[in-house]
Chain A
Amino acid sequence: MRLTRRDRLLLFAPLAILLGGWLVVPALVGLTATLTTYTPLTTSVAFARWQNYSDVLHDPQFAEAVRNVAIFTLVAVPLELALGFGIAYLLRRPIRGRSWWRGLLLLPWLVSPIATGVMWHYLFSGATGVVNFVLGWLGRPELGSPIGDVRLALATTIAIEVWRVAPFVTFLLLPGLVAIPEERWEQATLAGTSWFQRIVKVALPEVAPLMLTVGMLLTGQSLGAFDTILILTGGGPGTATLTPALYSYDRAFVTNDWPAGAASAWLIAAGVAVVGAAYIRLSGRWSR
């Protein structure tokens, strides 16, 4: 049906007010403020051009944070997609109680990121943890928590994120895999293709656009990685697990360097915008 201009205005108005007031306007006000010497406490404000951004970009801590979040995203997102796809592939054909399995598998994602941090803090610690319990069974000495080890901390936060998010990827990919017509599988089976070729030639082409969409969501969330790491390591040891989001939060609310906090937060948005532009281009090519 054709909507008139008035209809469209009426239908879009509630969303425009909500997103305008609580997302777009704050973001743009924030951008404007970071180009000045504004802080919530000062009364006189002067134009500062890109000074705040220059300060943040020259801060070695922020460089560390960018490096960490790049590794975090480049490792975690492909792992989440691959593992999530693998589990969805197992569930694609009807098995006994499939929707129950799907619900059970969603449980790790239902644990809030903050509770995930609390939980793994204890699971890795000496007296209460699952790791040392198993080692004890094997008669091996106890290990220190990997989140306290500079070399292992980032890898551990990645593993925990994959544990939490891969089940959600399965949840999002399964409808796409289930929708593949049965004939495709039958044709491939009759042609004598191996299970690996069936994944590459039948499943992946069908769910590729969906995986791209899921990948966009995961990438954006990874670039803002915050909750779980805040609890687990607070960015440490040293700067081993510091992310730009933790950096922004620390500057804005802990060390009271509001301009640095708001500017570095805008750099996260810029990162998401770059990935988002690539996503829109790619998804356009696929839909044609």
Chain B
Amino acid sequence: MVAVRAPRLIAVAAVTGAFLLPLAWTGLAAVGVLPDDSTRPPSWTGPPTLDHIAEIGVAEPTFWQELATSTVAAIVAACLTVAVAIPSAFALARSRFRGGRTVTQGFLVLASLPVMAYVIPLADLSRRVHLIDTFAGVTLAEAAVTAPLAVFVLHGAVAQLPTEWEEAALIDGAGVLRILGRVVLPLIAPSVAATLVVMFVLDWNMLLVPLVLTSGEVKTVPVALSDFFTFERELDWPTAAAALMVSLAPLAVLVGVFHRVLERFVLQAPAGRDIG
């Protein structure tokens, strides 16, 4: 089998390398290793330096604060999404009603709805109820954007569980919230963790919601990045590259730490298969 495996490993490495090449290029620029086109053949400038990371704070004085805002907003929004999605996913998986499957798939369609479709009136309504430019307004809107996907994924996780434990707890006189918290939640904990990570990534990278719902008070990193271009304030490349790498780093670390748990982010339970 070794003979068969080695080419596949090479193929995987080649594909991964090709996809990561632009990021590697950016990573090199972030530490000051830049191509020099003036020589033939082109060469590199060096040596590596961390100066450009410090320069981010000069080019965009509030960058580090924006990084903190992004982090807190994404954590709050992701937790809110998952907290709201768990009971609904449970109720959806344990209710038998006509059109139940359509409702579940409807959540996926809602998840694929671009934010642009409703963010214009949302901004107007938020202004009228004074939620514009507030942390609560941004995080609630972000949580709503990602909630349908969380419901869909967690519904799949609950639907796969056998119901015996729930029935047993019911006979013991446990209420529905107790059953959800003590019986179901521990069993779907890996899926919940995986969903939290993916929601954090989506919230962290979201542009339109914070862009349209704030005018500077709750500025996140994507909004800051968009500012540089919409207002024609060009960053120089090493500083931009450093900012990109710094804003990617937390997500890379998160995925690195949770890479095993992330296998539980499953869009569709392998249905209709005879298990055992």
Contact = CB atoms under 8 A, between A and B. Distances in A.
A is bound by B: yes
A175 B120 contact: no
B163 interface: yes
B244 A118 contact: yes
A33 B5 CA distance: 60
A99 B255 CA distance: 11
Interface string A65-101: 0000000000000000000000100110101100111
Nearest to B238: A128
By size class, the interface of chain B is 35 or more
B121 A226 contact: no
Contacts of B266: 175-176
A18 B137 CA distance: 11
A27 B23 contact: no
A92 to B, nearest CB: 10
Interface of A is mostly: helix
Q: Which of A118, A258, A268 has the most CB of B within 10 A?
A: A118
Contacts of A261: 120
Contacts of A29: 121, 125
A79 to B, nearest CB: 14
Interface residues of A, number: 108
A131 to B, nearest CB: 10
Interface stretch (A46-54, A148-156, A196-204, A272-280): A272-280
Given A18-B147, A122-B240, A280 B106 contact: yes
Contact of A163 (B8, B22, B94): B22
6 contacts: A10-B176, A122-B237, A179-B270, A209-B268, A213-B268, A245-B116
Given A15-B87, A220-B114, 9 more contacts: A27-B118, A29-B121, A90-B15, A101-B16, A108-B23, A120-B22, A128-B237, A230-B226, A284-B102
Interface of A: 1-4, 7-8, 10-12, 14-15, 18-19, 21-23, 25-27, 29-30, 33, 40, 87, 90-91, 93, 95-96, 99-108, 110-115, 117-123, 126-128, 130, 132-133, 136-137, 139, 142, 163, 166-167, 171-172, 175-176, 179, 181, 209-210, 213-214, 216-221, 223-224, 226-227, 230-231, 244-245, 248-249, 252-253, 258, 261-262, 265-266, 268-269, 272-273, 276, 279-280, 283-284, 287
